[in-house]
């Protein structure tokens, strides 16, 4: 390869690599953006599901809190008097006083382990589910001994982990935190300034709205933890009593969740509360949002909404949403189709450019080879023409036999040049698309009537002979007689060039085939075609000047032209090594019924 084609190929490869890198970068960027959009959609869906889940959870819990907040303070005693005023229910019951069982003794609400109460002075822990000894037999008749025994176990366990003073401190801390967590509603324009981002502002606004909804459902003012002052005024021993029932506040005792409140009866402060079954409540709440957040978890927390997100407004609990049940992010079908179209276009364009460059360079090389071969092929006969004509015109050859031999040589060279020019012009017409094929239905006998004499004449010039085996020569084919004649002449001409030194000087021309095909085979007894030459056997202008000088005359165009002529009239020209030695070319037609 010369330097110029190498530079052209190098530049082309560099441009192709640059375009490939550009297409790769574009594809990578497109896929990254597609994945980012998919991730953003997932995050938006997760955020929306979290919002819905928080509303649903607070709505579920608000019902329980509202029910317990509406419960009168004397329900925390196992039995109550039927004759006293509202504010006098905390006093000890008389032996013969008519009483009624507390609803908390008869039916324990869902998710509640125990209702309890701490007395003002002694700090004694009592429970409506564990009646005093004087009412034990009566309570067993209502709920059964097993229920009371279980409640007694819960009361004992609660007494071991909680005291009145500890609960009072927890309530004070919970009250302060509640006031901090529920600020006045911020104006929309100030939300991003408070929390630093629209997301945090939206979370704060959502928390405020859910808190207000819980307040309305619970019918008390959580923000101020105001007491509900009962208008009923009772007297005891001639003294007036006023009653204040504060709202229930949630507090954590270790990993146990308790709802507790103060009840002010005159000068005495009772602490009442509900020990919740947090594991059961946790499982039920997670089931309630399983369709939104299958992997959700509820974790105890003491953080304010400015410090953590996804807090419940009704309980000091944080919602951990967990991941949504999605698989790995995959490239969307539209993006894949777009990238496939881009890469298909790039590959097709690259293949077309490669074919164009290779074809152009190959054509350039073939033209150079053709010019070189034709120059060599023309130089020898022109030199012969010049030398012999000068000798004949100068009268240097007086012997008639020599004159006749010289004239025969000139005639053969003229025929050879005419054949060369004819092949070149025919191939040029085919390449330009201006060649016209006159295909007609003709028998093989008629074909050889037109061509056999010319074939024998060419063989005789090489001191060889045609061994014609007509076979079924009356088989009809669709062919162009002129093209068939030129093909057969080229094949016989090649045999004369390359098999002239063989011991058997015959060139076999045979007609055969089967019911569907008619085959005309031309084979000789020469050396045949070697593997390296076979690859370019039907390539035009495949013989360089060096090869032309070392081999028989010709520019390597005859076989290429013959195959193109055969193709144009619907036939095939194939090569094989003949079993008896030599080269064999077969022209195959479809038989005409």
Give me the DSSP letters along 16-45. Answer: HHHHHHHHHHHHHHHHHHHHHHHHHHHHHH
Do residue 214 and residue 363 come from a single domain?
Answer: no
Over residues 364-395, the pLDDT tens digits come to 776 666 666 666 666 667 777 777 787 777 77
Distance from C-alpha of 183 to C-alpha of 208, rounded to nearest angstrom: 8
Averaged pLDDT for residues 140-148: 88
Report the distance separating Cα 201 and Cα 432, nearest Å. Answer: 77
Q: Let me know whether 311 and 358 are in one domain.
A: no
Environment class of residue 99 by beta-carbon count within 10 Å: exposed (0-12), middle (13-18) or buried (19+)?
middle
Q: Between 145 and 3, whose confidence is greater?
A: 145
**Cα(500)–Cα(502) distance, rounded to whole angstroms?**
6
Collapse the DSSP code of 522 into the 3-class scheme (helix H, G, I; strand E, B; otherwise coil) and give the result. Answer: strand
Got the DSSP string for 320-363? E----S-------HHHHHHHHHHHHHHHHHHHHHHHHHHHHHHH
- The mean pLDDT value of the chain amounts to 79
Alpha-helix runs per DSSP H in 162-238? 164-181, 191-195, 198-218
Secondary-structure percent of the chain, ordered helix, strand, coil, rounded to 5: 55, 20, 30
**What is the SS3 assignment for 461-492?**
HCCCEEEEECCCCCCEEEECHHHHHHHHHHHH
Domain boundary among 320, 344, 364: 320
Residues 314 and 369 in one domain: no
Distance of CA 514 to the CA centre of its chain: 55
Give the three-state DSSP class for 593: coil
What does the alpha-carbon distance between residue 284 and residue 300 come to, in Å, rounded to a whole number?
16
Place of tokens 């070189």: 372
Question: What is residue 374's predicted lDDT score, i.e. its pLDDT?
Answer: 64
The pLDDT assigned to 524 comes to: 92
For the record, the structure tokens of 354 come out as: 């490669």
User: In angstroms, rounded to a whole number, what is the distance separating the alpha carbons of residues 135 and 305?
Assistant: 47
Q: Is residue 502 part of a domain?
A: yes
Domain for residue 249, yes or no? yes
Is residue 570 over pLDDT 90?
no
| Domain contains 18 | no
- Is residue 57 assigned to a domain? yes
Smallest CA-to-CA distance from 572 within 477, 499, 482 is with 477
Are 87 and 218 found together in one domain?
yes
Query: Is the pTM value of this prediction over 0.85?
Result: no
Distance CA 451, CA 269 (A): 133
Residue of 425, 429, 428, 445 whose CA lies nearest to 437: 429
Between residues 324 and 198, the one the model is more confident about: 324
**How far apart are the C-alpha atoms of 266 and 243, rounded to whole Å?**
6
Whether 496 and 462 have beta carbons less than 8 Å apart is answered as yes
277 band by pLDDT with thresholds 50, 70 and 90: very high
> Which residue, among 134, 394, 154, 120, has the nearest Cα to 277 in the 3D structure?
154
The pairing of beta strand 249-253 with beta strand 256-265: antiparallel
In this structure, the answer to whether residues 399 and 525 fall within a common structural domain is yes
Phi, psi of 569 (to 5 degrees): -105, 15
Mean pLDDT for the stretch of residues 165-170? 91
Query: With 50 as the cut, is the pLDDT of residue 550 above it?
Result: no
Q: Quick one: DSSP state of residue 530?
A: -
Mean pLDDT score, 14-32: 86
Within-domain flag for 333: no
Residue 266 sits in the same domain as residue 368: no
User: Taking a C-beta distance cutoff of 8 angstroms, is the pair 477, 552 a contact?
Assistant: no
Same domain, 277 and 418: no
Q: Note the pLDDT of residue 222.
A: 43
Q: Which residue has the higher pLDDT, 208 or 273?
A: 273
The answer to whether position 22 is within a domain reads no
pLDDT at 358 over 70: yes
Give the residue, 184 or 515, on which the prediction is more confident.
Answer: 515
- Contact present, 272 and 76 (Cβ < 8 Å): yes
**Domain limit, last residue, from 261, 296, 320:** 320
Model confidence pLDDT, tens digit, residues 245-263:
888 999 999 899 999 999 9
Same domain, 273 and 366: no
CATH number at residue 400: 3.30.565.10
Token digits of residue 311: 């807090």
Q: Are residues 84 and 203 in the same domain?
A: yes
**Angle at which helices 278-288 and 3-69 pack, to 10 degrees?**
130
At residue 47's C-alpha, the angle toward residues 45 and 48, to 5°, is 65
CA distance 342 to 339: 5
Strands 506-513 and 517-523: antiparallel
One domain, residues 446 and 359: yes
Q: Is residue 9 part of a domain?
A: no
Number of domain units in the chain:
2
Q: What is the C-alpha to C-alpha distance for residues 309 and 578, in angstroms, rounded to an integer? A: 89
CA–CA dist 343, 25 (Å, integer): 12
Q: Are residues 216 and 164 in the same domain?
A: yes
Longest Cα–Cα distance in the chain: 176
Which pLDDT score, from 0 to 100, does residue 382 have?
A: 77
Same domain for 225 and 367, yes or no, is no
* Residue 396 belongs to domain spanning: 352-590
Residue 338 within any structural domain of the chain: no
């Amino acid at each position: 390869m010369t330097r110029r084609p190498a530079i052209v190929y190098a530049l082309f490869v560099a441009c192709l690599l640059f375009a490939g890198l550009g297409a790769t970068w574009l594809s990578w960027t497109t896929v990254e953006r597609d994945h980012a959009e998919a991730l953003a959609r997932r995050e938006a869906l997760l955020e929306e599901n979290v919002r819905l889940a928080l509303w649903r959870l607070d709505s579920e819990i608000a019902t329980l809190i509202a029910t317990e907040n509406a419960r009168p303070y004397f329900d925390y005693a196992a039995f109550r008097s039927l004759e006293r005023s509202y504010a006098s229910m905390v006093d000890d019951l008389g032996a013969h006083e008519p009483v009624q069982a507390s609803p908390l003794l008869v039916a324990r609400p869902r998710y509640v382990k125990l209702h309890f109460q701490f007395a003002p002075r002694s700090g004694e822990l009592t429970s409506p589910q564990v009646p005093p000894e004087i009412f034990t037999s009566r309570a067993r008749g209502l709920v059964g001994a097993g229920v009371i025994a279980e409640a007694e176990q819960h009361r004992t366990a609660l007494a071991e982990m909680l005291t009145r003073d500890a609960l009072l401190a927890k309530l004070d801390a919970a009250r302060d935190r509640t006031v901090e967590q529920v600020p006045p509603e911020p104006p929309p324009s100030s939300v991003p300034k408070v929390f630093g981002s629209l997301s945090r502002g939206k979370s704060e606004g959502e928390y405020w709205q859910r808190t207000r909804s819980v307040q309305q459902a619970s019918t008390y003012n959580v923000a101020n933890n105001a007491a509900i002052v009962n208008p009923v005024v009772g007297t005891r021993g001639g003294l007036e009593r006023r009653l204040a029932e504060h709202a229930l506040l949630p507090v954590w005792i270790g990993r146990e969740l308790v709802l507790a409140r103060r009840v002010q009866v005159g000068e005495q402060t009772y602490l009442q509360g509900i020990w919740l079954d947090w594991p059961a409540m946790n499982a039920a709440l997670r089931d309630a949002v399983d369709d939104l957040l299958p992997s959700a978890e509820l974790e105890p927390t003491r953080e304010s909404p400015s410090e953590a997100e996804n807090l419940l407004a009704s309980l000091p609990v944080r919602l951990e949403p967990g991941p949504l049940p999605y698989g790995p992010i995959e490239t969307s079908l539209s993006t894949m189709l777009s990238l496939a179209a881009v890469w298909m276009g790039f590959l097709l364009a690259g293949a077309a450019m490669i074919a164009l460059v290779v074809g152009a360079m190959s054509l350039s090389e073939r033209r150079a080879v053709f010019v070189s071969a034709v120059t060599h092929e023309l130089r020898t006969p022109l030199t012969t023409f010049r030398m012999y004509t000068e000798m004949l015109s100068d009268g240097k050859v007086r012997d008639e036999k020599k004159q006749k031999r010289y004239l025969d040589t000139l005639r053969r060279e003229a025929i050879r040049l005419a054949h060369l020019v004819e092949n070149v012009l025919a191939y040029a017409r085919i390449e330009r698309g201006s060649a016209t094929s006159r295909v007609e239905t003709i028998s093989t006998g008629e074909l050889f009537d037109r061509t056999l004499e010319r074939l024998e004449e060419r063989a005789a010039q090489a001191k060889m002979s045609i061994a014609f085996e007509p076979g079924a020569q009356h088989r009809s084919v669709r062919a162009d007689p002129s093209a068939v004649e030129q093909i057969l002449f080229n094949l016989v001409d090649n045999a004369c060039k390359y098999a002239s030194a063989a011991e058997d000087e015959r060139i076999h021309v045979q007609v055969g085939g089967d019911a569907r095909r008619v085959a005309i085979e031309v084979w000789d007894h020469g050396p045949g075609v070697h593997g390296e030459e076979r690859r370019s056997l039907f390539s035009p202008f495949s013989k360089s000047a060096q090869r032309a000088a070392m081999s028989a005359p010709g520019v390597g165009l005859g076989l290429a032209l013959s195959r193109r002529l055969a193709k144009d009239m619907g036939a095939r020209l194939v090569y094989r090594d003949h079993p008896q030695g030599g080269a064999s070319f077969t022209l195959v037609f479809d038989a005409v019924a």
